Amino acid sequence: MKKTNGCSQKNLASKNVCSYNEDMSTEITNNYIEEYTTQEKLQILADAAKYDVACTSSGSDRRGKKGELGNAAACGICHSFASDGRCISLLKILMTNHCVYDCKYCINRASNDVKRATFTPQEICELTVEFYKRNYIEGLFLSSGVLKNPTYTMEKMCETLLLLRTKYHFNGYIHVKTIPGASDELLAAAGYLADRISVNMELPTEEGLRTLAPNKTMQTILDPMGKVRNTIASHRMAIGKSAHMERSKGNQFLKQSIFGTESKKQFADGLMKEKDAGKIAADGAVVRESASAYGSALTWDNAYQLAPLEMSKLKRRFAPAGQSTQMIIGATGESDYTLLQTTQQLYQGFDLKRVFYSAYIPLNEDKVLPRIGTPPPLLREHRLYQADWLLRFYGFQADELLSVEKPNFNELVDPKCDWALRHLDQFPVEVQTASYAMLLRVPGIGPKSAGRITYARRYGRLDFASLKKMGVVLKRAQYFITCGGRQMYHTPIEEGYITRQLTGVDQKDIWKAEHANESFTQMSLADFGIG
């Protein structure tokens, strides 16, 4: 990214002014140069990045090329785990943990006294390539604090990605977190250089942002989301694909799916009825914007014009792995219902590939935040991920899973079991005759096993032994299904009884979720002062 100082050769006064500005810029830049080695910077900035959620598979199908390093084939990302139990599949770092924002929940906020470090674009490139050559990683996850201002920070991040793609010929997977408030040109550049692009929502309501992140607004977050959505759609249509991102093939059989034609029409009709588009919905969820609100959206025709010249020559696809976002769980008092409503609106309104959840770990002292030492809600995070799965693959709607009267999940059982226990009037289900959509709603039956059931029953009668071979989890499904009109065991269809049985089954899983951030080491005699 080249900059011009705008100095006139004929005007001495202008030269003096420009010289002064350059000196000031140099002074500011030097303030962010620390006396740290690259290894020390890596330790600081990798640790600072562990609270950002990264995707665990690429979602891209780009194969390796001769003369280039790496590939971004689907599911080609290796997995590892951080000390706090979170899954990491990429070199996951911040470009800098310097930040001019003062978000109350963030460890890197401006008012915190923490070690600060900044990577240069060259250092990030060298680390990525060297780690890849050693088979430590398959890609890069790059985020950053706000250095000086959003535009400056985003420019440095785009410079890094451009170096990786051109000078180092890195063809692997890259996920970049954009900075809300940066220019459209830089947003376009990031989309063309990365495989997945994301804008962190952090909090699901405008009120939560005002309380904990006074430097951010819902509008500055949603605007780039809308532009990215429209640009992805334009590029997909230009190559003969649907405007919408690919979803599970099983969704085509689910009329109630949030990605189905009927559901999308209902969502669009709801947007048309909402005259006050800038207001938050009654349930406190995300601001609902119509597609017409994005008149300045990037398009196929002008996106390459907005991108830097060096990058436009690459003719890369725009964010082939789609866009995603992240929401913090437990920092504010929003219910699971509000979070799911927001999630569904993001999927339907912005065609997001994924919505990630991050259990809040209390790190800062503040009266509006949970006290330091409060356990992070890992089990709640786990249940929300399960509910998100139900929205994307099982044909559920947010209003079905929760309601204003019951705004939170029963954490002792998974969300599908929780729903089934509240709708026992629809059970038991006869596996010989039930539809594919109904089979998916049975606890213990997933898309693969439901497909196998619908295929196998055309050729003969099923029994519980064959269901087990098909992958049905009978320890959950046995209370909700019949084979040939018979239950596996004679059990009463009562909420209290089934809840007690399922709670006992899930105890091991609950313990694992609650203790996911714990680690264990082998003790030696030295730990006891012996030797």
Q: Do residues 87 and 52 touch, judged by C-beta distance below 8 A? A: no
Task: Quote the tokens at residue 438.
Answer: 């109904």
Task: Quote the tokens at residue 121.
Answer: 């674009």
- CA quadruple 269, 275, 277, 281: dihedral sign: negative
Distance CA 501, CA 504 (A): 5
Distance CA 509, CA 175 (A): 30
Distance CA 322, CA 353 (A): 6
Strand partners, 271: none
The predicted structure's pLDDT at residue 33: 52
The predicted structure's pLDDT at residue 422: 94
Distance CA 443, CA 509 (A): 15
DSSP 3-state assignment of 62? Answer: strand
Cα distances (Å, whole numbers) of residue 145 to 93, 149, 197, 328? 11, 10, 16, 17
SS3 content of the chain, % helix, strand, coil (to 5): 40, 10, 50
Domain segments of the chain as ranges: 27-245+252-393, 410-514
The predicted structure's pLDDT at residue 197: 93
DSSP 3-state assignment of 301? Answer: helix
Comparing CA positions, the residue from 111, 136, 148 lying closest to residue 26 is: 148
Instruction: Fill in the amino acid letter for 352.
Output: L
CA angle 363/368/369 to nearest 5° reads 25
Cα distances (Å, whole numbers) of residue 106 to 110, 328, 360, 479, 480? 9, 11, 10, 45, 44
Distance CA 101, CA 109 (A): 6
Could you say which residues of the chain have pLDDT below 50? 1-30, 56-58, 74-76, 275, 277-285, 287-297, 300, 525-529, 531
Distance CA 378, CA 60 (A): 29
Distance CA 224, CA 213 (A): 18
Q: Do residues 358 and 305 touch, judged by C-beta distance below 8 A? A: no
Fold for domain 27-245+252-393?
A: TIM Barrel (3.20.20)
Distance CA 142, CA 154 (A): 11
Distance CA 219, CA 227 (A): 12
- CA quadruple 422, 425, 428, 433: dihedral sign: negative
Distance CA 148, CA 181 (A): 12
Cα(first)–Cα(last) distance of the chain, in Å?
59
DSSP 3-state assignment of 7? Answer: coil
DSSP string over 177-230: E--TT--HHHHHHHHHH-SEEE---BSSSHHHHHHH-TT--HHHHHHHHHHHHH
Put simply, whether the predicted model's pTM sits higher than 0.85 gets the answer: no
Comparing CA positions, the residue from 444, 340, 343, 441 lying closest to residue 393 is: 441
Comparing CA positions, the residue from 447, 401, 441 lying closest to residue 247 is: 447
Q: How many residues does this entry show for the chain? A: 531
